[in-house]
A and B are shown apart, each in its own frame.
Chain A
């Protein structure tokens, strides 16, 4: 009986259907299935499948993004149940993500967020044009492991350095690690501003993030 349900759960993620994944999550609660079991044996299987297909070049970004959304919807239903049981999902780590102040380029940052979420990170995406204060404030509020900053302009990449300097001033590193990226960012720049990690694309960003939280 639950085997069937787990299959449907995985399929709802593969189909990127948030309505169905929400419904199935609710159904699993009614059937007294342990929420962790629903997540790991059901929904995660779908995410892993799409992730693998994406890696093989068989699935495309919209499928990945929609799988992520469907997963989020299911988790939103199951998480409160987990808390009631005094348990929590095991996450890779917490990431605060933003495009820096003065910069409105969004897509690259969003993709990095999608990939990180799909790989088991808890991601708070603040959006674009975010000041150092807001980024650091959020990181402290949620006790983040990583701050991720995107900058696409040569005039705004300096903001990445400002955040790092501020973190250093407050003695918040190495507790909080800093990962950067964006069109003008190079290895040289990363060294210069002493960031902890850099990647040229979203897949690479996941690998770096895992290294930064010691899970690779």
Chain B
């Protein structure tokens, strides 16, 4: 199964086992123990009522819920193991079936390196449009996270202006983490329903999905919970993302940190299943280690990469799709650190076949959007896509006839076999393989070529627009939320 003009990793030939079956069972047992004995905080009236009705022990004052393992395990079994993320263009639907790695943009940034001036500034609505348009044209980007915040729109409806901007500029699936209260969630669902032709249609074709953060350690946010419940009720794929970070919001040891994050995610997921059995849900994670000197959320480094590979094993254990944070970097500009962190995190999350990867384009700990970074991240994804195909060994690829024809000495450039297979070699767009002297006169590099490519796309690419009447309808819904 493939999606039109979208490159996803599938039928992987590489494998990696970071956790054994016994390891996973131990983490699972620890998680159940945490949920039963320590509890998880659910500061939402609706959530607490659902828990109470389903036999959990609820401390209403502290809003902490303690749940017997059986309730959690039974609830999780109701979650669908595979489903589709629909796109405005049905040919671009994405498969969350364990055999596709779909790349998304990163989301919710606060600043942008201006594509024309190269100067860093506050993000705005036009940025959301521009990024969506470039992502629409790029085959590596399979779906959007709402990339940056439209800070020139009213706070109470900002998440909605952003969604509209993406839908108007791309036909691909949209996932948002920028809608985290009931009012906006209601309106967002209404907007998505309007586009596909009604609430029932939306259940069949969820062109929108919702990601909410948990509140580590062992908590959730009230607004996020209520928004997630609404989305699950509407049949919109919904996931909880843990960011439990070693040393600050999680234990310093990785296994403990995994258990804490897992407790948050599966407790949240079980809640959605208890309320709406069979609702499409996903596991989401961006666990990492905190920097020991300044507490910063590193989003990079060896611990981060290992978490990237471990989490899909947990999600597989629960048989639900995973959305994994990758490409995160603390680098301030597209440089050595950004390339290193982007490559390793994405490789580790891909080799275990995470269903969704979040996401390309950011610098400085998910805060600054850079078009150059986005395009180079896409190339990294393409390289990993190629690597995941592994090495094919058969008569044709062993090429014995051709080897005999060339013999010792000579070369393979003139061979039909070479010509036939040459396009299977990876052709980089942004790697410098030129003579030294050429570089010396131009002194340009990947960053310049990447920005140039983004500029060209922005100038030339015309996405399939949203019907004008539909835009007006979306405006009407947005207006109803604005104060």
Interface residues, chain A, CB within 8 Å of chain B? 54, 57, 60-62, 102, 104, 106-108, 111, 154-155, 158, 183-184, 186, 188, 201-203
Contact = CB atoms under 8 A, between A and B. Distances in A.
Interface string B281-309: 00000000010111101000000000000
Contacts of A108: 295
Given A158-B155, A183-B367, A202 B292 contact: no
Please indicate which of the listed interface residues A60, A154, A158 has the most CB atoms of chain B within 10 Å of its own CB: A154
B247 interface: yes
A155 B158 CA distance: 8
Given A104-B215, A154-B149, A57 B110 contact: no
B221 interface: yes
Given A155-B158, A158-B155, A104 B221 contact: yes
A155 B293 CA distance: 29
A107 B249 contact: yes
A125 to B, nearest CB: 15
Interface in B348-366: 365
Interface residues of B, number: 21
A107 B294 CA distance: 10
A183 B110 contact: yes
A35 B292 CA distance: 33
Contacts of B249: 106-107
A158 B155 CA distance: 9
Please indicate which of the listed interface residues B122, B155, B290, B297 has the most CB atoms of chain A within 10 Å of its own CB: B155
B244 to A, nearest CB: 11
A48 B365 CA distance: 31
A151 B405 CA distance: 70
A61 B122 contact: no
Contact of A201 (B110, B149, B158, B294): B294
Contacts of B99: none
Contacts of A102: 223
A62 B247 contact: yes
A107 B293 contact: no
Contacts of A158: 155
Contacts of B221: 104
Top 3 closest pairs, chain A to chain B, by CB: A60-B292, A184-B110, A154-B149
A61 B295 contact: yes
Interface of B: 110, 122, 149, 151, 155, 158, 215, 221, 223, 247-249, 252, 290, 292-295, 297, 365, 367
A104 B225 CA distance: 13
B200 to A, nearest CB: 32
Contacts of A104: 215, 221
Contacts of B252: 62
Contact of A107 (B149, B155, B295, B365): B295
Nearest to A103: B221
Given A104-B221, A154-B149, A61 B110 contact: no
9 contacts: A54-B293, A60-B292, A104-B221, A111-B294, A155-B149, A155-B155, A183-B365, A186-B122, A188-B122
Nearest to B249: A107
B217 to A, nearest CB: 10
A112 to B, nearest CB: 10
A95 B215 CA distance: 26
B114 to A, nearest CB: 15
A61 B292 contact: yes
A102 B223 CA distance: 9
A144 B481 CA distance: 38
Given A183-B110, A184-B110, A61 B149 contact: no
Contact of B247 (A57, A61, A155, A183): A61
Contacts of B151: 154
Contact of B292 (A62, A154, A184): A62
Nearest to A184: B110
B283 to A, nearest CB: 21
Nearest to A201: B294
Contact of A57 (B248, B293, B295): B293
A95 to B, nearest CB: 19
Contacts of A60: 292-293
A106 B110 CA distance: 19
B293 A61 contact: yes
Given A104-B221, A108-B295, 16 more contacts: A61-B247, A61-B292, A62-B252, A102-B223, A104-B215, A107-B248, A107-B249, A107-B295, A154-B158, A155-B149, A155-B155, A183-B110, A183-B367, A184-B110, A186-B122, A203-B294
B286 to A, nearest CB: 14
A186 B249 CA distance: 25
A188 B151 CA distance: 14
A204 to B, nearest CB: 11
Contacts of A54: 293
A202 B155 CA distance: 28
Contacts of A202: 294-295
